[in-house]
Amino acid sequence: MTAGKTDATSTGLDINLPSVSSGRWWLEWEAAGLVVLVACLFLPRLGFLNVRGEESRRAQVAVEMIGDGDWIVPHQQGQLYFSRPPLQNWAIGLLGLLREKVDRWAIRLPSVLAVLGVVLLVYAYARLFLSRTASLAAGVTFASTAQVLELGRLGETDMMFTFFVTGSLLLWHYGRTRRWPAACTWSVAYFMVALGTLTKGPQAPVYFVATVAVYLLITRQWRDALSWGHVVGIGVFLLVWGTWQVPYYLAVGFDGTLRIYGRNVAVRFTDTDWTDYVSHFFTYPLEILLGCLLPWSYLLLAYSNRDFRRHIGTARDHVKFFLVAILVTFPSVWFVPTARSRYFMPLYPCFALFVGLAVERCWQADSSARWRRIWPQYLGGMAVVMVGAGLVVLAVTFVDRWQSPFAQPAGFAVVYALAVGVLAVAVAWSARRASQLGRVVGMIGVAAFMGMTVAGVLGNSLARRSVDQSGMVAALKQALPADVRLVSLGPVHHLFAYHYGKPIEVLPVPKPGQSLPPDCEYFCYYNCALNEDDLTFSFETLAVIPCDRFKKPEPSEWVVVCRQSAASRERAASSSR
């Protein structure tokens, strides 16, 4: 450890800098601990909430892939569906086949596995320049940030996409640092880029190419981009991506290919004016730092201290790489007025690495360093927050009596308050300990508090305010004849289609004076696609299924299920003869 002593002396630290991983990081207990942590944070209550938001959209495509056997071209209600490439649909569909149903677990488990993949990638990469405990802190940070805890439990595309983009960036730099063969480094990175492209589209190659290009330029290694290894990597990308892209192009043509990549991008620039741009410009960074990355973003304040930055030391090249990644990619969401915070989630692992480095340098600092106190101050503050959260939950439950959206069932409120009280004591204790045990207790205590709050308190709140579409559709199906043929006039909302669970054929809206075919006794329509006044034949309304995420006095989206009158069916039958 002579080299470690030299580094410690030159940077002014009072202990030896840790040696980097030998490459067998997966044998370290911290890696196994992260697996257990992710399981504890994300698997409990994974199927608790109803299918919501975009989950049913992804699930319905998977259902139809299983039903019609076409895993190349996404469909909804048998119609071409141009939203994004189908890798997430494949994952949901394969889990659905294994479980023999596309249920909530099949929809959401791919996101949990993606969280685990990112956490292990962060840990492995951090072991290039951090100790095992600080690398553990980086992994814990990513797993327990507010937005990761939220979206990692949902069947949205963002978490899988984050895994592939993170993999492309970190594995590329990891391979270069570990001196892998150039062809291997580029191939592994481009393999992940291809999977990211198959998940969400061109954002994956744009983020990778832009980050790597700028990094190679500023480090004066740009000739590496002209190597044969890079050519091999591009070949791997084309092979993996083309395996789906070529048959998809042959099926839908050039226009269809453009639509599946460009449809979601184009809508982000519609219906905006200059005030939207200004508002987004100033609020978006705050939303990321003061919302999505909580509660760990406070530790990033260490980088505002000049003396702290001087102690980055041997981690400087790594800092340069993930700082370049953040700065190069951030304009793609900062200057787009409708970009949501989750669009920048692929770069959250870089912030987690910043946190891991910050806490390690705080742990290593001598007693004269002012920034040394950031870690114990953080833990002390979190202990206060935990106690406050427990008291607030008790107050809104027993005093406000269900008027607050955060009110809980009485038993859960008491258990939550007691649990976070115990965690607060443990975290406060760890703030005064400089041992490895104290540090691990502190970070795990914060992560456990976040998990209980998001999955428990916020989960109960969401469940209480959400519409139970599954129950409504189940009641509807019981009221309909067992062998009913239900059709829709125009596309129906994906949430209704998913819960209905049977094929719903799309028919054109009858022209004025015409009726549906006589064998189409039952039909439905989506209020955003069709107005009741557009129907000129007689019918009776059987059910109205709201499709909003939350209960509203007046729903904004709904599906109407109707029965064509006998007179209309007779008229249709006579006209067909």
Residues with Cβ within 8 Å of residue 15, at least 6 apart in sequence? 8, 364
Q: Using an 8 Å Cβ cutoff, are 457 and 406 in contact?
A: yes
Confidence check: pLDDT of 410 > 80: yes
Confidence check: pLDDT of 22 > 90: no
How many Å apart are CA 78 and CA 101, to the nearest integer? 19
pLDDT in the model for residue 16 = 39
Can you give the residue ranges of every domain in the chain?
A: 25-364, 374-462, 469-576
pLDDT per position as a tens digit, 343-361? 999 999 999 999 999 999 9
Tell me, what amino acid is at 32? A
pLDDT per position as a tens digit, 513-526? 788 888 889 999 99
**Predicted TM-score of the model (pTM):** 0.93
pLDDT in the model for residue 313 = 87
Structure tokens belonging to residue 248: 């998809």
Peptide bond into 295 cis (omega under 30): yes
Peptide bond into 555 cis (omega under 30): no
Mean pLDDT of the chain: 90
**Which residue(s) pair with 541 in the sheet?**
562
pLDDT in the model for residue 515 = 82
pLDDT in the model for residue 170 = 97
Q: How confident is the model at residue 469 (pLDDT cuts 50, 70, 90)?
A: very high
pLDDT in the model for residue 575 = 65
Q: How confident is the model at residue 5 (pLDDT cuts 50, 70, 90)?
A: very low
pLDDT in the model for residue 214 = 97
pLDDT in the model for residue 573 = 65
The stretch 37-43 carries a mean pLDDT of 97
Which range has the worst mean pLDDT, 401-405, 469-473, 488-492? 401-405
The stretch 311-340 carries a mean pLDDT of 93
Closest CA to 319 of 297, 334, 300: 300
Please list the alpha-helical segments (H only) found in 365-468. Answer: 374-398, 410-431, 436-451, 459-465
The stretch 422-428 carries a mean pLDDT of 97
pLDDT in the model for residue 2 = 35
Closest CA to 109 of 25, 46, 28, 36: 46
The share of the chain scoring above pLDDT 70, in percent, equals 93
Tell me, what amino acid is at 179? R
Q: Using an 8 Å Cβ cutoff, are 469 and 547 in contact?
A: yes
Confidence check: pLDDT of 401 > 70: no
Of 535 and 401, more confident: 535
The stretch 42-68 carries a mean pLDDT of 93
The stretch 372-385 carries a mean pLDDT of 95
Of 23 and 544, more confident: 544
The share of the chain scoring above pLDDT 90, in percent, equals 76
Torsion of CA 35, 36, 41, 42, to 10 degrees: 60
Which range has the worst mean pLDDT, 92-101, 185-194, 396-405, 534-543? 396-405
pLDDT in the model for residue 536 = 84
Q: How far apart are the first and last CA of the chain?
A: 93
Q: How confident is the model at residue 1 (pLDDT cuts 50, 70, 90)?
A: very low
